Amino acid sequence: FGVGKTTLARKVYSSRKVMRHFHLRAWCSVSQEYEKRRLLLEILTGIHVLTEEIRQMRDEDLQDKLRKLLLKNKYLIVMDDVWGIGAWNDLKSSFPDDANGSRILFTSRLHRVASEIKPDSPPLSLSLFSQEESWQLLEKKVFKEECCP
């Protein structure tokens, strides 16, 4: 069950501060079964208008197109629900490293995936709310300013 990884990533991705900071932003949902082509098109959709010509490109040409669009731009790519290192290995050559502050954010339920993708950077782990914190959140959402009956 979820602890809010995607929700937190979505809040970061959609924040005004992040929108101002990054020239280009894109989101892709990886999941357990993924297709490289679908991920490439999903990312391209976030940063460029998808023409029929682009849709007809081979995977290698899509990767090249993505790389050229990202080059010299500060970008944020979110890869949500990553289950294994395969998706990263398939796409990483598409993401230029211009040392300009671009970032790729991964969410995964599997701690080892984050460790494999970037071994020198400890992953951020979210924890579940305590029973009391859960109740406080429920009260806040359901009853707003009123007292709980």
- Tell me, what's the pLDDT at 148? 58
Q: The tokens of 26 are what?
A: 């894109």
pLDDT above 60 for 8 = yes
Q: Which band of pLDDT confidence, cut at 50, 70 and 90, is reported for residue 116?
A: confident
Interval 15-30 mean pLDDT: 96
Single pTM value for the model: 0.81
Q: Which domains does the chain have, with CATH numbers?
A: 5-143 (3.40.50)
- Tell me, what's the pLDDT at 147? 62
Do 94 and 67 touch, CB atoms closer than 8 A? yes
- Tell me, what's the pLDDT at 16? 96
pLDDT above 80 for 21 = yes
